[in-house]
């Protein structure tokens, strides 16, 4: 599954990448280099991050489902216990 960013997010990320290189690598990079770097990150790192996020969400949901029998349980045949 290819990760697609909105145009706004892509532009903000490209600006962030350019700033990072300027401040931490003492190198100014242009639009082409920052676009290539972002594309590399999305293709190479993105799937691992995405898969971990899905696994985390799945684990969270499984924990909630496991708690349903406790939080959504009603005592059966309870009329005579009143």
What Cα–Cα distance (Å) separates residue 68 from each residue in 62, 63, 64, 78?
10, 9, 7, 20
Rounded CA separation 42/31 (Å): 16
pTM of the full structure: 0.74
- The residue to which tokens 């293709």 are assigned: 43
Rounded CA separation 26/48 (Å): 29
25-77 tens-digit pLDDT:
999 999 999 999 999 999 999 999 999 999 999 999 999 888 887 888 788 88
Rounded CA separation 10/41 (Å): 12
Other CB atoms within a 10 A radius of the CB of residue 35 amount to 15
The pLDDT assigned to 73 comes to 79
């Amino acid at each position: 599954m290819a990760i697609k960013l909105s145009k706004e997010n892509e532009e903000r990320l490209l600006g962030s990448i350019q700033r990072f290189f300027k401040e931490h690598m003492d190198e100014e990079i242009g639009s082409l280099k920052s676009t290539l770097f972002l594309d590399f990150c999305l293709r190479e790192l993105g799937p691992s991050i995405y898969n971990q996020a899905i696994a985390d969400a799945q684990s969270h949901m499984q924990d909630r489902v496991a708690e349903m029998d406790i939080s959504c349980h009603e005592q059966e045949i309870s009329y005579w216990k009143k």
